[in-house]
Amino acid sequence: MEEQKAPQILFVDDEPSLESLIRRQFRRKLRKNEYEFFFAQNGVEALKQIEEEPDIQVVITDINMPEMNGLTLLDKIHDLGHVIKTVVLSAYGDMKNIRTAMNRGAFDFLNKPIDFEDLEITMNRALEQVQQQRNSQYQLQQAQTQLIQSEKMSALGQLIAGVAHEMNNPVGFIAGNVAIAEDYISELIEVIELYRDKFKDPGEEISAKLHEVDFESLVADVPELVASMKEGTDRIYHLSNSLRTFSRADISTKVAFNLHDGLDSTLLILKHRLKANEFRPDIDICKEYSELPAVICYPGQLNQVFMNLLANAIDALDEYSDKRTWDEMLESPNIITISTCELPENKRVQIRISDNGPGIPEKVKTHVFDYLFTTKPPGKGTGLGLSISYQIVVEKHGGRLYCESEGDTGATFIIELPIE
């Protein structure tokens, strides 16, 4: 079980003795992991600390400091948009600065010299306020994410289902007419053959025409031509069925679903992105499917998860390809591996989607499922795909979604789903 992370508090003061004084006063609670303290000597250092430690929840700052004072620091923290509570330290009687600080969003103030009992009470109150605010923000984000996900799946499902339906009608006409045309052609050839048997010398004009159209080759090629047309219509039917499989949006109730069908339909939709282009060769797909039982789930939502994870893997390989030569890519091809297996000991199935790209840095890996977090350039990513995927797998299906990435060996996203 992951150890509970201690609340993080940043003290900002230019007095060198403050850090040792604070640490001595709270030494027992620091050892018990009840708090984690950071220290800075001015506002510039404080902002750098907040950038490096985005989980800092409370900042306790002096007002009068070199380089950047506490009042300016309050404005800068407010501009960051983080959920952080600030507490200002001030000498007795400095009411003007205290009023200014409170007007700039300070949560509370403390007088110097510090009363440590009062300091701890104020810290705990601020931490409680941060937690309440972050919980409210999280619930709002979840509601927004769910709304986006529902609208996206509804629109996508309707679009794809509509395309599949529109494809089926003309393909049905073509398939039916191909079978009839095959019969017609066979009968016409039989008639022509009968004429040739009955009239051995059809005359120069007809003989010349038969030679011109190479009648014997034409007759021999007709079955292959019809077979090719049938294969084409079968492929369109397969594509249409895959589109319908992908677009299933069984929102109200869970149904039994073959996960391999969902993966294959998603791959078919992404097929154009796997093909070679001017920047890289084909991306190879390696399927390592094991026999899986049907899973009781929302198929449309899981297909969206597969789409997000596979599209991200393609994006990672495309970005990686920019840093490699064509020969390097031919020698070590881009590969996405999809493996599935049953975990009978806990009645679950596991899907692993791996790429052999550059991998994910540890600092990024801890935030990949965060709401609106993205490493893609503006216009290329919204920061919603993995957040929505996490919500679908974990909250909607009671499963697990996590990431493994070591060094430069690529990244693997693992989905675990209960069978029922």
Q: Give me the pLDDT at residue 149, please.
A: 61
- What are 25-39's pLDDT values in tens digits? 898 988 888 888 999
Question: Confidence band (pLDDT; 50, 70, 90) for 157?
Answer: low
Host H or E run for residue 354: strand 348-355
Range 174-191 average pLDDT: 85
Q: Give me the pLDDT at residue 294, please.
A: 92
- What are 238-247's pLDDT values in tens digits? 667 666 666 6
Alpha helices (H) in 322-384, listed in sequence order: 326-331, 362-365
Q: Give me the pLDDT at residue 353, please.
A: 94
Mean pLDDT of the chain: 82
Q: Give me the pLDDT at residue 184, please.
A: 87
Q: Per this entry, what is the length of the chain?
A: 420
Q: Look up residue 371 and give its two tokens.
A: 């709401």
Question: Confidence band (pLDDT; 50, 70, 90) for 145?
Answer: low
Whether the per-residue pLDDT at 84 is higher than 80: the answer is yes
Which has the minimum average pLDDT: 39-43, 221-225, 288-292, 310-314?
A: 221-225
Question: Confidence band (pLDDT; 50, 70, 90) for 285?
Answer: very high
- What are 304-360's pLDDT values in tens digits? 889 889 988 998 898 888 888 898 889 889 999 999 999 888 899 999 999 998 888
Rounded CA separation 324/332 (Å): 10
Q: Does domain 255-418 have CATH number 3.30.565.10?
A: yes
- What are 254-278's pLDDT values in tens digits? 889 899 988 988 888 888 889 988 8
Rounded CA separation 216/214 (Å): 6
What are the strands of the beta sheet with 56-62, ordered from one edge? 36-40, 8-12, 56-62, 85-91, 108-112
Rounded CA separation 318/315 (Å): 5
Whether the per-residue pLDDT at 55 is higher than 50: the answer is yes
Range 148-170 average pLDDT: 65
Question: Confidence band (pLDDT; 50, 70, 90) for 361?
Answer: confident
Q: How far apart are the first and last CA of the chain?
A: 24
Whether the per-residue pLDDT at 180 is higher than 50: the answer is yes
User: Which amino acid appears at position 11 of this protein?
Assistant: F
120 with 101: CB under 8 angstroms?
A: no
Whether the per-residue pLDDT at 3 is higher than 60: the answer is no
Query: How many other CB atoms are there within 10 angstroms of residue 62's CB atom?
Result: 22
Which has the minimum average pLDDT: 19-23, 58-62, 224-228?
A: 224-228
- What are 363-395's pLDDT values in tens digits? 777 777 776 666 665 555 555 678 888 888 988
The CATH number of 8-114 is which of 3.40.50.2300, 3.40.120.10, 3.40.50.12160, 3.40.50.300?
3.40.50.2300
Question: Confidence band (pLDDT; 50, 70, 90) for 252?
Answer: low
- Secondary structure of 255-324 in the HEC alphabet? EEECHHHHHHHHHHHCHHHHCCCCCCCCCEEEEECCCCCCEEECHHHHHHHHHHHHHHHHHHHHHHHCCC
Q: Give me the pLDDT at residue 250, please.
A: 47
Q: Give me the pLDDT at residue 248, please.
A: 59
240, 255, 242, 314: which is closest to 279 by C-alpha? Answer: 314
Q: Give me the pLDDT at residue 1, please.
A: 38
Question: Confidence band (pLDDT; 50, 70, 90) for 185?
Answer: confident
Q: Which position has the token pair 């893609």? A: 376
